[in-house]
Chains A and B, each alone.
Chain A
Amino acid sequence: MTTFLAFIKKEFKHIFRDRRTLLILFGMPVIQVLLFGFAITTEIKDGKMAVLDLAKNTVSQQYISKITSSGYFILQENLENYGQIEKSFRKGTIKIALVIPAGFARDLGTKKSSVVQVIADASDPNMANMLTGYLSGITNSFAIENGLIQKIPITIKSKMLYNPENKSVFMFVPGVMTIILMLVSAMMTSITVAREKEIGTMEILLVSPLKPGIIIIGKVLPYLVLSFFNAFTILTLGFLVFGMPMEGSRILLFLEILLFIISSLSLGILISTAAQTQQTAMMISLMGLMLPTILLSGFIFPIESMPEILQILSNVIPAKWFIIIIKSIMLKGVGIEVIWKETVILIGTSLFFIVMSIKKFKTRLE
């Protein structure tokens, strides 16, 4: 036990004396959450718009003010003729243009329908899609409010379940937490083991009475503690700054986080058995772990819209299952009876990695 304590003490000293490690451990989670939370949102506000109002009457004015008061659009320019539209797009001052035809008000109330034209800058296809979507929504409700449409045979009343305001931050907090836990657990442990090999102290440890199991646990335990600290920081930020809900059981969430950390730590040990230097360990972790995790976990790109082969591939990414689990617990408030399948998969992968890494760690010695 004293040997173990001596080892743990030493590991913590390594961590707290290295500025780079500290920065990754404590700076990055906060920066990432804030960055993803504030800067990268999928909802668009204040889309810059130009209007070419050829009708110039009260109804068209009402229509325009309805659009600008929605919060989604800012009226950047009032245009005089068609030629100016393209000019403004080229200058990049606007993202979308609206053309109200000369007959706009006159045609209202008759059987003839009015056509307004919307032109969007599709060099950013996502934004173009969303802005035209918003605009047609506003146009419809304007038409209904003014009695222009008597009755629409079918209306859709949509309700955004579990995330009523459709906030993208609810997606990013679990995602960032997953990435950070993966990074801290897998990358940092693989680097610290590789570091001992690089400076030659690993040999000394192996010759010493320390058992390989103790060396592994001693390496892993400090990062387990720190990963928990990180998870806590990220969740707290999520609650306080972004108003993340916490519907489900905290204990279940805690256990699932523990499970994911263990699976990442064992992955880190597995990497360290293959890497002789810190650089290799870092490269393997970043390219082999981080990239697939970010791309295939469903964190940023929805898995449903991936090609089939990538969808199948995404199943081997533990992060995918973990993201499903935390979202289910935090947003939907479900219990283990719903997410047991994902949990079993995580347990399975953890066991697989642990067995593999112990096996490889031993064979390296022989």
Chain B
Amino acid sequence: MTKPITLLQAVNLAMHRAMQENKDVVILGEDIAINGGVFRATENLLESFGPVRVIDTPLAESLIAGMSIGMATQGLRPVAEFQFMGFIYPAFDHIINHASRMRHRTRSRLQCPLVFRAPFGGGIQAPEHHSESTEALFAHIPGLRVVIPSSPKAAYGLLLAAIDSNDPVIFLEPKRIYRSIKEKVDDDGKRWQLDQARKVKDGKDITLISWGAMLHETLEAAQQLEKYNVSCDVIDLLSISPIDMIPILTSVKKTGQCAIIHEAVKTCGVGAELIARIQENAFEYLKKPIARITSPDTIVPYAANEQIFFPNAAVILQNILKHFNIG
């Protein structure tokens, strides 16, 4: 009988599995080998696969990205960890100018099968620069896949698929739920589809769309909405680029009401993109403007005050009640 495991353990399990299956998979990053990663996502990989495949790099993020690209062009499948999303920005030059374009600009002579993992988002009282959700920056770049798991099962299935993929994948791990949610995960090597959203709750009145850690706050709000006789479809996006619009449009055409919930700040967030696409494709079905429930357009407060910044189930509920004139 498999024991329930955390999202973090599922990430670790997927990497063990991928390395066992394929010798081309190598893991690199800062403090990922002997230390097992600052969150322990890479724990025991060094012991199982040795220092040539599990590589502690010098402390340089541009190096991690740039060398991963070089490795990928020669047939390796690097899975690189960026210790926190807040420190991935030195690697942008490589992500945007090279990883996303290598296949395209060589007309598939070379490809870039790499995964860049990074814990993101707030809620763990971490220091400055450790709590942002800037996933939309990556979703704006053609040629990248941007994947965000919301549960241990999703993390396992999606990370294996990301490592298999011959496209560069940004794999963002919501660290707030790294250890707070447990699920039974069969280590059966089963891959999830990389660009398929999933419906996690069925309803008829409002479509709620979210991803990552906010999915759980959204589900809790949806639960509370039942008391008001409001039932919600809840969609877990899983991939913010590309976006799987099919279940979203199906749901919105049914409910005619939609709210998007994300932890990232409001302006130019993925929510804006979703709203644009929904109105392009289902405008005539909408009974009300689409609601956006997000963090405000300001800097994430330091740990002492961060809890007032992020949406939570109560905030989501209040916003939905007000926006849709419920109760």
The answer to whether A and B interact is no
Chain B residues engaging chain A, CB cutoff 8 angstroms: none
